[in-house]
Amino acid sequence: MKGERCQNNFCQFGSCPAPCGVEAVHQPACGKMGGAAHDRRYGREEADGRQTDAPHLEDAGDYARAASLPEIASLVELASIGSITREKALLSADSERIGEILQEAEEFRSKPEEGTTPEMLLDWSDSMRSLRVYTEEAPYLYRQNERLDGAAGLVLLREEEWLRTGHLKEIYAEWLNRDLEEDGRGREIQERLMNRWKGHLVNLLHSLQGAPLTVALVSGRLKDYRKLKGDAALDIDMLRDIQLEALFRAAQSCQMQRIDCSLELLVPYPEDREAFHKIHEFIDRVGEETLCHQRRSLRYRVGAMLDWDVRETAAAEIARSADFIIINGKHEGAWLMEYLVGEGERGKVLSAGIPFSVLEELVHSIRRTKPAIRIRLSGAVKPADLVYVYRLGLNEVSTVSSELPGVRLAAAQWELLERQREQRRKSVQGRT
């Protein structure tokens, strides 16, 4: 398929029609956590100087917790007329209930383009925090007429699962069960799968309107490959080839329509730096073959997706070459770790079952090698996990859409409270 891209597609009439192409670049992180918000380990400080790991949003003081739509509407109105600050409005909202309140407000939306009061509050929260919050796995975003709802971007980590269950499942099943001896028929199925996949990605990029789309290449963990004929590794490479061509063609199609595209490609679970480089080169080669000599207008970054229990030395070496790192917080059997850690660590476990101490060592090993690299924790991150996110100094998190409003608001509350504590600390030091 690689050898026929140009001849059979863009260049069959002698020249490429679109003034765009591919260039792999490293861009700085969009949001940088600085000062105490990045360096200081978070936790609630008790009277005896000890720090606990419990979330301390109750430190908002006497602020009432607005836990209903009328109460949220009142907060937004008071902040809009200047009776209270936006910061106070945010600290007075209930992050555990904001998702339900947001859904309730949809019933009162008169026009699709009109914002609701919970949305206004969440928009304020986005402007007052440095932590970037992404949403995961929304493959039918464009079909459901949904929006990103304030997320920094969309993350697709399990495309193989979507292929198995989404609207391409028939053509995907046909590709899996193709007859390898019928070469012409096999190429036809590949072309159909690529074009259908491209159409799906075009619609996603349209919906994102320039916000980052992070896509992990299909991995070797698919159960489907246990049933494949021939060399399974070859079939994985072929499917990745189809996926990348669909993605690059989708991005080019959007650019031809003057729609901005921001792509982040993930190498899934590389064993070491050499394995990462091999797939990185594969990505670059497919991009060049797909879009020919026009290679300067479409930019993408290449990162690595690592399991939370990856070897620290391997993670550090991979980080040297990666533009960013995503730590996969979803892992089969992760919940067992809560029972395997020591007694003293028993309470320091994320909602997915990952011990904080394991994540801490992993992040520190990466930071020692490449201090400024962006690190994102994925896998249905919940507001209760933010205590660990901030202690680790992570730049980004991604979560499922149901948890997105609560994480957005709770993260803003965390950072506002930290700024207040920092101001009080400086005030005390000034008086002494």
Amino acid at 210: G
Q: Which residues pair with 215 in a beta bridge?
A: 156, 265
Look at phi and psi of residue 269 and say left if phi exceeds 0, alpha if psi is from -120 to 50, else beta. left
**pLDDT at position 322 over 50:** yes
In whole angstroms, what is the distance from residue 210 CA to residue 152 CA? Answer: 10
Q: List, for residues 174-203, the tens digit of each pLDDT value.
A: 888 887 777 778 889 999 999 999 999 998
| Residue (of 67, 42, 40) closest to 54 by Cα position | 42
Q: What is the DSSP letter of 35?
A: T
Length of the chain measured in residues: 432
User: Which structure tokens are listed for 174?
Assistant: 């046909």
In whole angstroms, what is the distance from residue 358 CA to residue 334 CA? Answer: 11
Dihedral sign for Cα atoms in the order 348, 354, 355, 356 = negative
Longest dimension (CA), the chain: 83
User: Which structure tokens are listed for 270?
Assistant: 């590389």
User: Which structure tokens are listed for 188?
Assistant: 């036809």
In whole angstroms, what is the distance from residue 303 CA to residue 281 CA? Answer: 13
In this prediction, what percent of the chain has a pLDDT beyond 70?
74
pLDDT of residue 222: 58
In whole angstroms, what is the distance from residue 419 CA to residue 306 CA? Answer: 32
In whole angstroms, what is the distance from residue 398 CA to residue 202 CA? Answer: 22
In whole angstroms, what is the distance from residue 216 CA to residue 29 CA? Answer: 19
Q: List, for residues 102-148, the tens digit of each pLDDT value.
A: 989 988 877 766 778 999 999 999 999 999 999 987 544 544 445 56
Contacts of 273 (CB under 8 A, 6+ apart): 314, 317, 318, 320, 321
**Lowest mean per-residue pLDDT among 13-27, 82-96, 135-149:** 13-27
Over residues 27-38, mean pLDDT = 38
Amino acid at 320: R
Amino acid at 142: Y
**Lowest mean per-residue pLDDT among 272-281, 307-316, 343-352:** 343-352
User: Which structure tokens are listed for 56?
Assistant: 């301390």
| Residue (of 377, 427, 415, 430) closest to 90 by Cα position | 415
Classify burial at 12, counting beta carbons within 10 Å of its beta carbon; exposed 0-12, middle 13-18, buried 19 or more: exposed
Whole-number mean pLDDT of the chain? 79
Asked if 378 and 327 touch (Cβ cutoff 8 Å), the reply is yes
The beta-strand segments (E) located in 66-126 are none
In whole angstroms, what is the distance from residue 375 CA to residue 29 CA? Answer: 10
**pLDDT at position 17 over 80:** no
**pLDDT at position 431 over 90:** no
Kind and range of the H or E run holding 72:
helix 69-80
Binned at pLDDT 50, 70 and 90, residue 258 comes out as: confident
Kind and range of the H or E run holding 184:
helix 183-208
Q: Which residues pair with 292 in a beta bridge?
A: none
Q: What φ, ψ does residue 30 adopt, rounded to 5°?
A: -70, -35
User: Which structure tokens are listed for 110?
Assistant: 């008169």
Over residues 329-334, mean pLDDT = 60
pTM here?
0.81
In whole angstroms, what is the distance from residue 261 CA to residue 271 CA? Answer: 30
Kind and range of the H or E run holding 45:
strand 44-45
pLDDT of residue 149: 67
297 vs 242, higher pLDDT: 242
User: Which residue do the tokens 């495309």 mark?
Assistant: 159
Instruction: Name the 3-class secondary structure at 230.
Output: coil
Q: What number of other Cβ atoms are within 10 A of residue 72's Cβ?
A: 26
